[in-house]
Structure 1
Amino acid sequence: MRVLISTYGTRGDVQPFVALAKALKAHGHVVALCTPTGFRGMVERHGIPYAHMDNAVLELTESVLRAPTRAEQRRLFKGFGAIVRAGLEDEWRAARELKPDVLVYHSKALGSHHIAEKLGTVELLAMPLPLTPTREFPVPIVPGFRLGGWLNALSYRVLTLANAVWAGATNDFRVKTLGLAPLSRFADPMKKADGSAVPALYAFSEQLLPRPTDWPPQARVTGCWFLDEADRWTPPAELQSFLEEGPPPIYVGFGSMGAAHAESRAATVLKAVALTGERAVLATGWGGLKAHEHPANVFMLESAPHDWLFPRMSAVVHHGGAGSTMAGLRAGKATVICPFLGDQPFWGHMVHRAGVGPQPVPQKSLKAERLAEAIRTALSSTVQAQAAAVGERIRAEDGAAHAVRLIEQMHWEWGHRPAAFRPWGPSRRR
């Protein structure tokens, strides 16, 4: 089986797909990963063939996330259209080179859905967050959380509206490159051309978010796709010494979020740490935290593999990206989420609902006293015990291997069974 995986975004949008690619390769399949060149080193370091995607999309994403004001973000965002169009061509080039039996793609990889139609091949949306409509909770990128049944289900229409932003680029790609008919600007990205649902693999753990009971059979939850890098990373001697000098510290880091106000945010975090009396490791990431001076009970670093660092912490504080959230819980650590945007508030609510952390502390209301109180809650014996129990169950999962089995199953059913007996939807194979 030949599998092309396509994704782009920040590290959290790429790393799980490297883990999936490794699992597919280990099972004897031919695989390639199409993602911006900024991640080529990570992909090839794990022995996965790399398929080219221009780095402009990653560079512009970084620029938008680092922009000091919303106005500057909007100005930069205007450049996305042309870059997205070029990325579609990169996806098509990768598909022509590999000639895949299966296309697995993140929703940001906009070309794969159309390429699958052109090639008449298996397509699988793959995400660390749920995008299949349900009455149980709203689409994770909607700010409100308690909408209620039918409004929850209706909220998923926002995906169609979001897709409309790129409809000009995707239709140009369909017509000029693929020779396909254009689609409605508001075509549902979760539906194939024949109206059947796009099968989806969701790479999160049901220990945090159980699979909704009203989901169709083609929406599967596999468990997380963890990319272990601890054995490839040597910690700085200073970090090792800091960890050995006292009790486990708390971790605070906001990944690729929040370069604006980095110094004031760091001051707030340092004050909160002082109020708790705890030791701490602060990760600067893409610049979300910046401090010229810090006390002896705080260690500053740029980044470290979560699978190495988190098990050595007493609790973790972060922005609430799906990858960071699952990595912290896998380590059995109570979690404080301070969301910026997107799906981060959603994961904050899920963490609180599961009893493995306090209510989320949004960045817009991040105050030292409130953060300190959230950290104290995370360090309470009840939350610590629940986080440890959830972590034990997550570590028993093998999400990547489960995903491989489902991909193999779908490929087999696509090629060997009549359409009426294919539980993941009718075939469009030609």
Structure 2
Amino acid sequence: MRIVIMAVGGRGDVAPYTGLGLRLREAGHDVAIAAESAHEPLVRSAGLEFRVLPGNSQADLDTEDGKRWQESGTGVRALVSATRLFTQLMKDLCDGVRGAAEGADLLLLHHLTIYQGYAVGKAMGIPTMALELFPTGMAPTGDFPPAELSLPDLGRWANRNVDRLVGALTSPAVRFFADFQRELGLPGIGLSSMVRALHEEDWPILHGFSPEVVPRPRDWRPGIEVSGYWWPAVPQGWRPPAELVDFLDAGPPPVFVGFGSMAQGEGERLSEITAAALRRAGVRGIVQAGWAGMAVAGDDVFSVGDVPHEWLFPRTAAVVHHGGAGTTGAALRAGVPAIAAPLMADQPFWADRLVRLGVSPGSAGLRALDARRLGELITQAVTDPRFGDRARTLAERIRAEDGAGQVVKAVERLAR
């Protein structure tokens, strides 16, 4: 079977699908990953076929709308900024998804490609399935609001229905989608009607996180499942830099600090905060540059670029990160305490989840982050044994799961 996985966003939105792609290939399928051109090296380093989708997430976050989205972080202002930011991308993805789907026997769809992929699949006679990295409005539940909305608990009825309100508010921006469906030879229905159709046919949606972290809500309809994590592939032939190995061997486990694709242009501020926080806590540190361009100098600090989390995180005393789904999962898998500094989208959801799980002493919003608060959290994480004990226990359970294997089984069911 020729499978095309479609994923849009930063590195954390694409990397989990590389390991999943390898598992599907091991099961006998031909696998391609369609993503933004910036992720071609990531996909090809895993030995997988690459197909290009439109978009440049790093450049988008540097636009005025992107900056406003990051500055507003959560709430209605963030929703408005995100709508303006993503409307053009959604338009571009219509043709992009159609082109990337050529020759496919199955489409596996990440969040921002679901609507286009589902329509293209219907028109071309290709089965489709969603692979989500966090609980979205596509899978409403009374247990919590959709993670991408960054909202507090609203009560069961509102939690389950808030995405309908959001859909009503944003529907004028996506009217182009009806025209796209008509171009495909399909009825030109609105997105809300499409979502109803998806649910009525029990369209499959698999979530790539552990049920130990977010148990499957009881009010989810059939077809919506939690599979367990899908771990990124380690690039073929990767070896850790000798200088990094020497640093790790030269003293006690350091604290990792990295904020992924967040806070572009704030590298100097975040570097100063990180350096001061590490000094306050009296710990060594490994600082990842990320899109912010962080760099911290000192005998007790080592700066890195991209290093596989699977290799690095188990060698640390704690992980400080932005709360992205993939980094959250990697820290949990490593069995070390974690501290999230969330900014927007699903990040506050995961920050709260880490505290609820007992593996984190708390969180600090990235926009308001300061050295005193971060230093206090790091100190608690590395000195209070409860966080490490809970993290190790949870990691054992997570590592025993086979999320990718569950996707392989679901693909085989579709094939039959």
Q: Structure 1 length normalisation: TM-score?
A: 0.86
Q: Deviations 1:172-195 (Å, cap 9, x if unpaired)? A: 32223x1222222x5255443694
Match of 1:43 in 2: 43
CA contact (8 A) 1:57 1:80 kept: no
- Aligned-pair CA distance for 1:116: 1.9
Structure-to-structure mapping, 1:15-414, within 5 angstroms: 15-54=15-54, 56-58=55-57, 60-64=59-63, 81-95=87-101, 97-100=102-105, 102-109=106-113, 110-131=115-136, 132-157=139-164, 160-161=167-168, 164=171, 167-176=174-183, 178-184=184-190, 186-187=191-192, 190-192=195-197, 195-229=200-234, 232-287=237-292, 289-291=294-296, 294-379=297-382, 380-412=384-416
What whole-Å deviation, never above 9, does each CA across 1:195-221 have from its counterpart, x for those lacking one?
Answer: 434320100011211111211121011
Aligned residues: 405
1:63 shift after superposition: 3.1
Offset at residue 336 of structure 1 (A): 0.3
My pick for the range that moved more, 80-89 or 317-326, is: 80-89
Q: 1:309 to 1:165 in 2, by over 3 A?
A: farther
Secondary structure in structure 1 of the residue aligned to 2:298: coil
Q: Which amino acid aligns with 1:114?
A: A
Residue 235 of structure 1 and its aligned partner are, at CA, apart by: 2.3
Listed one character per residue, the Cα deviations across residues 298-329 of structure 1 (whole Å, up to 9, x for unaligned) are 11122311111111111100000000000011
Residues 335-367 of structure 1: per-residue CA shift (max 9 Å, x gap): 100001110000011111111112221123312
Verify the 8 A CA contact 1:254 1:288 in the aligned structure 2: no
In structure 2, the CA distance between the partners of 1:129 and 1:67, relative to structure 1 (3 Å rule), is closer
Distance 1:270 1:208 in 2: 31
Secondary structure of the residue that 1:18 maps to in structure 2? helix
Residue 224 of structure 1: CA displacement?
0.6
Shift of residue 249, structure 1, vs aligned partner: 0.2
Shift of 1:289: 2.7
C-alpha separation in 1, matches of 2:385 and 2:321: 20
Q: Which runs of 5+ in 1 are unaligned?
A: 413-430
Deviations 1:17-66 (A, max 9, x none): 22222111110123222212222222222222222324x44453353499
Deviation by residue 1:359-407 (Cα, 9 ceiling, x = unmatched): 2211233121211121122221011000011111111111111111022
- Report percent identity of matched pairs: 32
Contact 1:317/1:336 (<8 A) preserved: yes
> Which residue in 1 is equivalent to 2:75?
none
CA distance in 2, matches of 1:68, 1:125: 29
How far 1:161 sits from its partner (Å)? 4.7
SS state of the match for residue 124, structure 1?
A: strand
Residues 396 and 87 of structure 1, relative CA distance in 2, 3 Å threshold: same
Per the TM alignment, residue 77 of structure 1 is displaced from its structure 2 partner at its CA by 8.3
Matches of 1:137 and 1:77, distance apart in 2: 22
Quick one: structure 1 residues 66 and 179, their matched pair in 2 at CA, closer, same or farther if it must change by over 3 Å?
closer
Q: CA deviation at 1:236?
A: 2.4
Distance 1:235 1:343, change over 3 A: same
Other structure's SS at 2:335 match: coil
RMSD over aligned Cα atoms: 2.7
Instruction: Please give the secondary structure, in 2, of the residue aligned with 1:364.
Output: coil
CA, structure 1 residues 6+165, in 2 after alignment: closer, same or farther (shift >3 Å)? farther
Per the alignment, do residues 389 and 189 of structure 1 end up closer, same or farther by CA in structure 2, a change over 3 Å counting?
farther
How does the TM-score come out when normalised to structure 2?
Answer: 0.89
Distance 1:400 1:213 in 2: 23
1:284–1:300 CA contact under 8 A, matched in 2: yes
Q: Which residue of 2 aligns with 1:420?
A: none
Distance 1:308 1:348 in 2: 23
Q: In 2, distance between residues paired with 1:71 and 1:278? A: 30
Give the AA of the match of 1:338.
Answer: A
Q: Pick closer, same or farther for the CA change 1:197–1:250 going to 2, 3 Å.
A: same
List gaps (5 residues or longer) in structure 2: 73-79
Counterpart-to-counterpart distance in 1, 2:85 and 2:155: 37
Label 1:49 to 1:165 Cα distance change in 2 as closer, same or farther (>3 A).
Answer: farther
Whether the aligned pair in 2 keeps the contact of 1:276 and 1:372 (CA below 8 Å) is yes
Provide the rounded CA distance (Å) in 2 between the counterparts of 1:111 and 1:285: 30
| SS of aligned partner of 1:125 | strand
Given that 1:69 and 1:260 are in contact with CA atoms closer than 8 Å, whether structure 2 keeps it comes out as no
**Corresponding residue number in structure 2 for 1:415:** none
* Cα distance in 1, alignment partners of residues 392 and 82 from structure 2: 42
Per the alignment, in what secondary structure is the counterpart of residue 316 of structure 1?
strand
**Contact 2:16 2:233 (8 Å CA) reproduced:** no
Query: CA offset at residue 288 of structure 1?
Result: 5.3
> Structure 1 residues 287, 335: closer, same or farther in 2, change over 3 A?
same
Is the contact between residue 87 and residue 174 of structure 2 (CA under 8 Å) also seen in structure 1?
A: no
Q: Contact 2:32 / 2:51 at 8 angstroms: preserved in 1?
A: yes
In 1, Cα distance between the equivalents of 2:381 and 2:70?
36
